[in-house]
């Protein structure tokens, strides 16, 4: 079977958050991170069968559903996950909040690097904890975002409890290498931090690079790691709210589960069905998706380099369907507004911890023709920027 990622699917007038934002306006929404593609036919078929059953009571995953998930982790990353380590969650942002609540006391700091997916910075604050951010360093010669280890050492204090890692990284689209993870593990152990490794984008690695789960390092760091995973980004199922915390250490797991009590909803039966079908039967679709996204990424990279003066992609997009674009040279206070005025909706880099006017994030998880149209509109937006006299 071949899969069709080219035919547009009308989403105006539907429940799509991404499309609703610009309802009634001719703006292509390339902001929040879900894709414009229909889910894998294998997943849709499993959902149809589950819907036809017709009973939608409170759910728990079946042994077969759990097997589908742990078998995928073993096959893809050689990571042996005991089913007892799994804590199901209705979303990974929930997981970030629960982790902050469980492993830092009120007022204690949580450390993360920026730019980063905004809930990394807001979750600790929502839970009455503090957040301390350390900018990633751009090595322009190597075209690579790096952890600034010296800055990290300066930022950590005896009160710091947690490190939030985004791996692969949203928005800079890096896949951290094993040596970097080992260094981070050493840092966390030396400062007695719990490592929360958000790996939601791990099955969207576009280059020939392995994803190495932080907890697969094993030993002491595995016992101090909360891994957050979900099929939602890869298989375009985020609206079904089915995610996982994987916590090898029984003590940490108890604390995590205790912090969910009474406030975290259970996952629903359709979510379990879709999740298991995706991991069990969705591999051919995922590979086809990765090919398509690679094509979009390369098309975008060429267009930005050739047609968008003042816009720069500073490092290769190794994973995700997100492009982190430096637009500082345009000299705009509000670049998102400029692109919206020309028909493209992007995410403002400020929300990711970047300086005002410096970056926008573009979601290229859409049919290529739509991406081409968005880029043509961006070209007009750039051409319309007033030049200094
Ligand atoms: C790194 C990261 N974590 C979590 C999420 C969202 O997870 P959820 O929708 O399961 O809350 C996203 C969505 O873009 C993300 O990029």
Average pLDDT, integer, range 14-33: 97
pLDDT band of residue 358 (cuts 50, 70, 90) is very high
Dist. CA 97 → ligand 1 center (Å) = 12
Ligand 1, atom 7, residue with closest C-alpha: 92
194, pLDDT greater than 90: yes
pLDDT on residue 389: 61
What ligand 1 atom has the least distance to the C-alpha of 230? 10
pLDDT band of residue 386 (cuts 50, 70, 90) is confident
Average pLDDT, integer, range 266-276: 98
Q: What percent of the chain has pLDDT over 70?
A: 99
Ligand 1, atom 13, residue with closest C-alpha: 33
Distance CA 185, CA 363 (A): 31
pLDDT on residue 224: 98
pLDDT on residue 242: 98
Structure-token pair, residue 52: 């036809």
Dist. CA 239 → ligand 1 center (Å) = 11
Q: What is the pLDDT of residues 205-232, one digit of tens each?
A: 999 999 999 999 999 999 999 999 999 9
Residues in the chain: 389
DSSP 8-68: ----TTSS-HHHHTTTTS--EE--SS--SSPPPHHHHHHHHHHHHH----S----HHHHHH
SS3 content of the chain, % helix, strand, coil (to 5): 45, 15, 40
Distance CA 158, CA 153 (A): 11
What ligand 1 atom has the least distance to the C-alpha of 320? 16
Write the DSSP symbol of residue 224.
T
Distance CA 176, CA 167 (A): 6
Q: What percent of the chain has pLDDT over 90?
A: 98
Q: What is the pLDDT of residues 94-117, one digit of tens each?
A: 999 999 999 999 999 999 999 999
End-to-end CA distance of the chain: 57
Residues within 6 Å of ligand 1 by CB: 33, 91-93, 117, 166, 170, 198, 200, 230, 232, 238, 243
pLDDT averaged over the chain?
97
Q: What is the pLDDT of residues 153-171, one digit of tens each?
A: 999 999 999 999 999 999 9
What ligand 1 atom has the least distance to the C-alpha of 89? 10
| Number of Cβ atoms within 10 Å of the Cβ of 191 | 16
pLDDT on residue 343: 98
């Amino acid at each position: 079977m071949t899969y069709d990622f080219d035919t547009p699917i009308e989403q105006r007038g539907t429940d799509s958050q991404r499309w609703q934002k610009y309802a009634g306006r001719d703006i292509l929404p390339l902001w929040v991170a879900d894709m414009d593609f229909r889910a894998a036919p294998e997943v849709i078929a499993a959902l149809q069968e589950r819907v036809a059953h017709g009973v939608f009571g409170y759910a728990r995953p079946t042994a077969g559903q759990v097997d589908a998930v742990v078998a995928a982790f073993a096959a893809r990353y050689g990571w042996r996950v005991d089913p007892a380590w799994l804590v199901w969650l209705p979303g990974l942002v929930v997981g970030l909040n629960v982790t902050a609540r469980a492993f830092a006391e009120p007022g204690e700091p949580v450390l993360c690097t920026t730019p980063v997916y905004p809930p990394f910075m807001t979750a600790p604050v929502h839970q009455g904890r503090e957040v301390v951010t350390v900018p990633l360093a751009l090595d322009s010669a190597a075209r690579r975002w790096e952890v600034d280890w010296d800055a990290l050492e300066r930022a950590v204090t005896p009160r710091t409890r947690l490190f939030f890692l985004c791996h692969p990284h949203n928005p800079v689209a890096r896949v951290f290498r094993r040596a970097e993870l080992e260094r981070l593990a050493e840092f966390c152990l030396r400062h007695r931090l719990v490592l929360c490794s958000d790996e939601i984008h791990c099955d969207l690695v576009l280059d020939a690079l392995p994803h190495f789960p932080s907890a697969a390092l094993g030993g002491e760091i595995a016992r101090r790691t909360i891994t957050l995973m979900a099929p939602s980004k890869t298989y375009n199922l985020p609206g079904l709210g089915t995610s996982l915390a994987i916590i090898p250490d029984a003590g940490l797991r108890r604390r995590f589960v205790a912090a969910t009590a009474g406030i975290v909803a259970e996952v629903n039966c359709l979510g379990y069905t879709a999740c298991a079908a995706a991991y069990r039967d969705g591999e051919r679709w995922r590979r086809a998706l990765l090919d398509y996204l690679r094509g979009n990424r390369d098309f975008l990279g060429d267009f930005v380099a050739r047609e968008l003066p003042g816009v720069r992609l500073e490092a290769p997009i190794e994973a995700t369907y997100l492009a982190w674009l430096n637009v500082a040279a345009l000299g705009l206070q509000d670049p998102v507004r400029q692109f919206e005025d020309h028909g493209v909706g992007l995410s403002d880099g400020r929300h990711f911890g970047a300086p005002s006017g410096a970056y926008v994030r573009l979601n290229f998880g859409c049919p290529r023709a739509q991406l081409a149209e968005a880029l043509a509109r961006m070209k007009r937006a750039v051409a319309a920027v007033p030049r200094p006299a």
